[in-house]
Structure 1
Amino acid sequence: MISGLAGGFLWALDTVILSLVLAPFSMSFAAPLAATALHDAFSALWLALLATIRRRWSSVVRAIKHKDGRRVMLAALLGGPVGMAGYVMAIRFLGPGLAASISSFYPALGLAASALLFHEPVKRHQVAGMVLSLVCLVLMSGQAAGGTDFWLGILCALCSTAGWAAEGLLVQKAASLDNDIALLLRQSVSGAVFWILVLPLFGGLPVALSMAQSPWLVAAASLAGTASYLCYYLAIHRIGAARAMPLNITYCAWAVVLAWVFQGTTVSGPEAVFCAGVILGGVLSAW
């Protein structure tokens, strides 16, 4: 449980730093995709450095050949180009607080899918937690102004919700892999797909190269994100995806707090109440 909560805080820190990365590129539609590509590439470099220090490259090769390694690679496609790209685009259109809050509904979706696919028992308080999270997320969304960008941001956040829920279930099935090895495969595949396919398709290569000229914020965000994923994967393998995902969504509250501390954003009373409801619902779902 501590690993899941730590992953939530670190992901909130990642969220706020990424919003600072995106700020100078607010006019570019491809900026969120470029930031995501750099984020996952830097994360893969951090993990490759860890694998080198720990002399784990033989384990990486074995994991690539194993069926669990292929599950993680599929999870990378759903969690990266679908989940992470949708999340960063939602940050741009909605801001870090609202983007984090909406996308944090993915544990409820994961819990429902886990019950259907893996036949895990679902108790009444877990269902109540899912309903509470959903209601609070809908009410929180109503606190923001409408418009084209708003609804596009909602769509992006929902894409991240679906992608991350599917990723968590696939990672749970890849239980034979160590967390650092699984995450190295995940970030490497995700980063490669972004650079080879997504960025050229959406014209994001020039933006990514421009961001790379001042890489320190992206490197810091990816370091926080890497640590968050390691904590998250550890929680998945210890208590299961259906319980680890709700613990991880505490990032929605931390994102609002950190955005207030570092960016001076205002937090209304209803937003604070709804955010607390999302967290409470997540904890109930994991209990």
Structure 2
Amino acid sequence: MAEQTTSEGFHEEEEEEEEEEETPPIHDVKKTKISPQNTNPIDANNPFSQFVYKPNPHCKTTVKELTASDDHLALKENENEQPQPQPQPVVESVMVKIKIVSPYFPSKPGTDTEEYIIVKKKKKKKKDQLTAKQKQDEAYKRKTPDNTWKPPRSHHNLIQEDHVHDPWRVVCICILLNMTQGVQVRGVISDFFDLCPDAKTATEVPQETIERLITSLGLQKVKSQRIHRFSLGYLWDDWTHITQLHGVGKYAADAYAIFVTGQWRRVIPTDHMLNKYWDFLHQNAHLLT
């Protein structure tokens, strides 16, 4: 019985070895070559042949090998596709944190209240200034002897209307009116022209004397210096435009064009009183010669 068992066991081992020989290991499976004509190759000896890639003859595919440079470009494209941060809008107000502390009653630590307040930035008002090209306009040219323009009297009764015979006086009135009301200038204008009747006299009178005379107008030191320097430049014969002289801004230049040269159509004044006289000229333009 032992031999039989042994022989039976031997035969059983042989049968198991034969069964193992019938199924080849996976690494010994032969790969089936795929040709364009055989679109559905199936190898009976290869159980994985059904999973082999089967190209479609009606579809053209191209395969490109990516290099290191291509990978770098692909990463760069992905970075570019990321949304860029949007610029933050400029805020014209500032939030300030303040602590409210009573000056009379001492508070316990940690009981002080804190609040936020919004402080708005104020934009500085731009002064009316002439550009370099505008300063060379024909309206601001020096008055020629053949210019017979005589501005008409208006019901607005501007101070310049009483002194149109002297261009120097027209500009000096504008300097005195700077940051000052007309009522104040009317109170000193007669005394000023008695002291300085012309440009030459204004250069000879001490600036301190002029300052004391126009103290009620404010900015007396600045105005006296401007009148002195303007008078010095006015006496020279080399200037061609009134805008070349010291102390002559847009207001004085427009007044010079309106009351002296008669080129009021070429300027647009910004002073409220000068605007009234400018409108008066437009309303009576048909009566002007």
User: Shorter-chain TM-score: which interval?
Assistant: under 0.3
Higher helix share: 1
Q: Normalising by the residue count of structure 2, what TM-score does the alignment of the two structures yield?
A: 0.24
Task: Say which structure, 1 or 2, has more relative contact order (CA 8 Å, 6+ apart).
Answer: 1
Q: Normalising by the residue count of structure 1, what TM-score does the alignment of the two structures yield?
A: 0.24
